Amino acid sequence: MRADKTFFDQEENEILRQVEDFHKILTHLKYEGKVSRGKNVKAANRAMSRLVGTFKKHRRLQEEIIFPFLQVHIPKHEAVIRFLRSDHEDIKKNKDRLRLSLQKLSKQSVTENGKIQELGVYLICLLRHHLELEKENIHKAIKRELREDEKKEIGVRIKKWLTINRSGKSLDLRFFQTHNEKECFHDRRSNRTAESKETQHENSI
């Protein structure tokens, strides 16, 4: 597999298609009233689960394979990669909030609808903006700045990752990353743990 435009286009199109589906269901939920609420809440939950699953795969593939590879082979993109990682966290937090609101709406039939619309539209904007940023930076960098052998190498790793991920087996990243890439991955994990501890500490005071 080549990590070329086609692979990223397909992945981006799939996420965007699911974002559009979700947007349509939110509109139904907004305008169709109480009579269709049960049906629309179920549809929103289903669409949300699909989108969450697809985005989770996207996030893990980037954070475990693509970002560490680029941080070593094209280090000048470090800042944008850091931003994209924090974007992933932001999207995850907003998705959790929206899920909670959808659960409240389905269980208690309370008027959470306005909040759901607000959270839903915000999440959709975040996702669209995130994908656009990746297209303009990461995808272009892979296409224009990696050497042919590097493109081939990242393509092989992506394919292997997707195959193992589909099989449901656990991934051992030692087989995917060189020493330097492992350092990038583990540095990031340690930072995240430290950030999380700091946040917990801040929340507790």
Contacts to Fe ion by CB under 5 A = 62
Strand blocks (E) in 53-178? none
Min separation Cβ 102 and Fe ion, Å: 23
The conformation of residue 4, written as its DSSP 8-state character, comes to: S
Distance CA 59, CA 67 (A): 10
150 close to 73: Cβ distance less than 8 angstroms: yes
Tell me the CB-side half-sphere exposure of residue 203, using CA atoms within 13 A: 6
For 31, 69, 145, 160, 198, the CA distances from 61, given in Å and listed in that order, are 37, 11, 20, 11, 27
Min separation Cβ 84 and Fe ion, Å: 5
Q: Which residue is nearest to Fe ion (CB)?
A: 62
Residue with Cβ nearer Fe ion (62 or 177): 62
Residue with Cβ nearer Fe ion (68 or 101): 68
Min separation Cβ 30 and Fe ion, Å: 28
Please give the backbone phi and psi of residue 23, each rounded to the nearest 5 degrees, phi first: -60, -45
Residue with Cβ nearer Fe ion (8 or 176): 8
Residue with Cβ nearer Fe ion (15 or 116): 15
Residue with Cβ nearer Fe ion (62 or 113): 62
Min separation Cβ 59 and Fe ion, Å: 6
Single-letter amino acid code for the residue at 53:
G
Min separation Cβ 143 and Fe ion, Å: 17
* Widest Cα–Cα separation across the chain: 58
